[in-house]
Amino acid sequence: MTSDDDTRQTEATAHNAEAIFMREFARAALDEQRRTRRWGIFFKSLFFLYLVALLIASAPSDWLRISVGQKRTALIEITGLIADDAQASADNVVTGLRAAFEDDRTKGVIVRINSPGGSPVQAGYINDEIFRLREEHPDIPVYAVITDICASGGYYVAAAANEIYADKASIVGSIGVRMDGFGFVEAIDKLGIERRLLTAGEHKGFLDPFEPLKPDEVEHVRGVLEEIHRQFINTVLRGRRDRLLDDEKLFSGFVWTGEQGLRLGLVDALGSASFVAREIIGAEDIVDYTVREDYLARIGRSLGAALAQALSPRLELR
- Residue 277: DSSP 8-state: I
Question: Cβ–Cβ contacts within 10 Å for residue 101, how many?
Answer: 20
pLDDT by residue (tens digit) across 277-314?
999 999 999 999 999 876 555 555 555 555 555 444 55
Handedness of CA 147, 154, 110, 64 (dihedral sign): negative
Question: Cβ–Cβ contacts within 10 Å for residue 170, how many?
Answer: 25
Residue type, 81: L
pLDDT beneath 70: ranges in the chain: 1-19, 21, 25-26, 29, 39, 43, 52-69, 294-318
Tell me, what's the pLDDT at 119?
93
- Residue 118: DSSP 8-state: B
DSSP for 124-152 reads HHHHHHHHHHHHH-TTS-EEEEEEEEEET
Q: In which element (H, E) is residue 79 found?
A: strand 72-79
Q: Torsions phi, psi of 244, nearest 5? A: -85, 140
Top CATH class, 62-316: alpha beta
Tell me, what's the pLDDT at 65?
46
pTM of the model: 0.70
The domain locations on the chain are 1-58, 62-316
Tell me, what's the pLDDT at 215?
84
Quick check: 156 and 124 in contact, CB under 8 A?
A: yes
Write the Ramachandran bin of 290: left for phi over 0, alpha for psi from -120 to 50, otherwise beta.
beta
DSSP for 148-194 reads EEEETHHHHHHTTSSEEEE-TT-EEE----EEE----HHHHHHHTPP
pLDDT by residue (tens digit) across 125-159?
999 999 999 999 999 999 999 999 999 999 999 99
Tell me, what's the pLDDT at 14?
60
* Residues 27, 40: Cα–Cα separation, whole Å: 20
* Residues 187, 189: Cα–Cα separation, whole Å: 5
Tell me, what's the pLDDT at 217?
80
Tell me, what's the pLDDT at 116?
95
